[in-house]
Amino acid sequence: MENRCENCIIRQFNSLRALNKDELKKVSDSKISKKIKKGEPLFIEGQKLDGVFCVRDGVSKLSKLSSNGKEQIVKLTNRGEIMGQRSVIAEDFTNLSATAINDMEVCFIPKEVISNTLNTNPNFSLEVLRHLAHDLKEADDVIVNMSQKTVRQRLAEAFIYLKKNYGEDENGFLSLTLSRDDYANIVGAATESLIRMISDFKKKGYIKTEGKKIGVLEEDTLQELADGF
Amino acid sequence: MENRCENCIIRQFNSLRALNKDELKKVSDSKISKKIKKGEPLFIEGQKLDGVFCVRDGVSKLSKLSSNGKEQIVKLTNRGEIMGQRSVIAEDFTNLSATAINDMEVCFIPKEVISNTLNTNPNFSLEVLRHLAHDLKEADDVIVNMSQKTVRQRLAEAFIYLKKNYGEDENGFLSLTLSRDDYANIVGAATESLIRMISDFKKKGYIKTEGKKIGVLEEDTLQELADGF
DNA sequence: TCTAAAACATGATAATTGTCACTTATTACA
DNA sequence: TGTAATAAGTGACAATTATCATGTTTTAGA
């Protein structure tokens, strides 16, 4: 038997919770479940999306290519998030690429269902508005961090963020394992510079590493660092 | 006689154009026209807004203080824009401060009118959604620029942006005159560094200056510079 | 119109980060 | 399971930008 949205807890975390039974049924009937393997794209910058993705499991990075050819990660998605809303609402090409960071399970919901519901259920519109508003606020914060903080500060912040949002395993390593390259693309730095900083943080005892895995040892120190001592 | 929204052309440029006669009347009856002098704040980061501002004339900067005490300008508003939507929708404190860059004329619209209309007119919701979606896309672009481009590139880009969006006067100077400090806060650099770059651009003949006024001389060169040669 | 404050400007120097050129691990898979 | 391919790591050096100190010009207001 297929998974039904009606029974899916995930929807409590996103704007779909504003749907009534009927609407939910329509979404459920038209949705397509997909599994995306680590490293595979969900969609690519410049593509026209004909629906949104509801993240059941796994993490993805939303990124954008700069004119210099470097990738910048703008956001990491959380479980329960809806991706591609902006593009569907604006009837516009995606401005971002989405790539799975670990194996993902997502549901694709065709845009017709979304826009119909937007037109008929004001509560749903409001929920979507709130989510966009939230994303916009977060984007503002990122802008300020990117322009006013040093790479070192942003890296410290990234570790704290990853710990807070994705937690750590039984050995104290961050649950979300990113490549050094991804870290560089999050904080907006050259990979070599970033690797050097990780080495330095490790030498100073703020973090520990084991292969790609990184564990936060001194969260308070990192926080101070992020705030500029 | 008071200015009525019904006769205001400005609303064609923003989400208020989705309102019907009745709704427009309500907005018009409850709105308060305000004049804000250059340098004065419309609202301050952390404040609770009980309405939105519709910009009839003038330009303002939306900025945010960084933990290091420096101001970062996130966005310049255009004529016809609605400010404070995000905060009203999310029923949240503003995350940004708004300050008039030149003398402004704005209309304050109480939030009740806005949220009532959001609940009853799906077209209005959609318009607001589209605007937020647009802002979000622009914010993503800023993030990428901030993290992947050099200060020099961002400055070149800023000049082009100002020319495109606000035009120039009869003598070829940018219509929108910003302080060196504001420029620094837009591109996210130290004021001294920025002044040096302006001097350099001038010496190279890309721009001309006359007091605070700046004129673009070689737009193509600036564009190439912004794109990284 | 005089004067203090603010804005603009420049020099010297230091800190931060990027680039290029490699070496060493890891990983994937033929 | 051996071997490319990919990722991680390091050194030397250059480029970019910040900081501090100080001087000059402009502006606003008594």
Give residue-wise pLDDT tens across range A119-155: 999 999 999 999 999 999 999 999 999 999 999 999 9
Does A223 lie at the interface with B, CB-CB under 8 angstroms? no
β-strand partners of A222: none
Radius of gyration of chain B (CA): 19
| Closest to A158 measured CA to CA, from B153, B71, B186, B147 | B147
Question: Looking at residues B80-102, what average pLDDT do you find?
Answer: 96
pLDDT at position A229:
73
Contacts of A21 (CB under 8 A, 6+ apart): A6
Q: Does residue B1 register a pLDDT over 60?
A: no
Give the orientation angle of helix B151-166 with respect to helix B122-148, to 10 degrees. Answer: 140
pLDDT at position A69:
84
Which positions of chain C lie under 7 Å from any protein Cβ?
7-12, 16-21, 26-27
The answer to whether B144 contacts A90, with C-beta atoms less than 8 Å apart, is no
| Chain B residues inside the 8 Å CB shell of A145 | 66
Residue ranges of E strands in chain A: 32-36, 41-43, 51-57, 60-65, 71-76, 82-83, 97-100, 104-110, 207-210, 213-216
Q: Is the CB of A188 under 7 A from strand C?
A: yes
Å separating the CA of residue B47 from the C1' of nucleotide C10: 40
Locus of tokens 């916009």: A136
A176 and A216 Cβ atoms separated by less than 8 Å: no
A59 and A104 Cβ atoms separated by less than 8 Å: yes
Q: Is the CB of A138 under 7 A from strand D?
A: no
Q: Is the CB of A195 under 7 A from strand D?
A: yes
The answer to whether A66 contacts B126, with C-beta atoms less than 8 Å apart, is no
Contacts of B65 (CB under 8 A, 6+ apart): B45, B71, B72, B97
Does A134 lie at the interface with B, CB-CB under 8 angstroms? yes
pTM value is: 0.95
Residue B39 falls in which region: left (phi positive, over 0), alpha (psi -120 to 50) or beta: left
B73 and B67 Cβ atoms separated by less than 8 Å: no
Structure token digits, residue A224 = 């101070």
User: How confident is the model over B2-40, as pLDDT tens digits?
Assistant: 689 999 999 999 999 999 999 999 999 999 999 999 999
Give the other-Cβ count within 10 Å of B39's Cβ: 10
B156 and B223 Cβ atoms separated by less than 8 Å: yes
Å separating the CA of residue B53 from the C1' of nucleotide C2: 42
Q: How confident is the model at residue A1 (pLDDT cuts 50, 70, 90)?
A: very low
| Chain B residues inside the 8 Å CB shell of A140 | 64, 74, 95-96, 139
pLDDT at position A2:
60
Which residues of chain B from 41 to 100 reach within 8 Å of chain A, CB to CB? 64, 66-68, 70, 72, 74, 85-87, 89-90, 92, 95-96
Å separating the CA of residue A43 from the C1' of nucleotide C24: 35
- Integer CA distances (angstroms), A55 to A3, A36, A41, A94, A109, in order: 14, 11, 14, 17, 11
Which 200-219 residues of chain B approach strand C with CB closer than 7 Å? 209, 212
Nearest protein residue, CA measured to C1' of C16: A150
pLDDT at position B10:
93
pLDDT at position A68:
82
| Closest to A16 measured CA to CA, from A134, A113, A133, A87 | A113
Largest CA distance in chain B: 58
User: How confident is the model over A41-74, as pLDDT tens digits?
Assistant: 999 999 999 999 999 999 999 999 988 889 999 9
Question: Looking at residues B171-196, what average pLDDT do you find?
Answer: 97
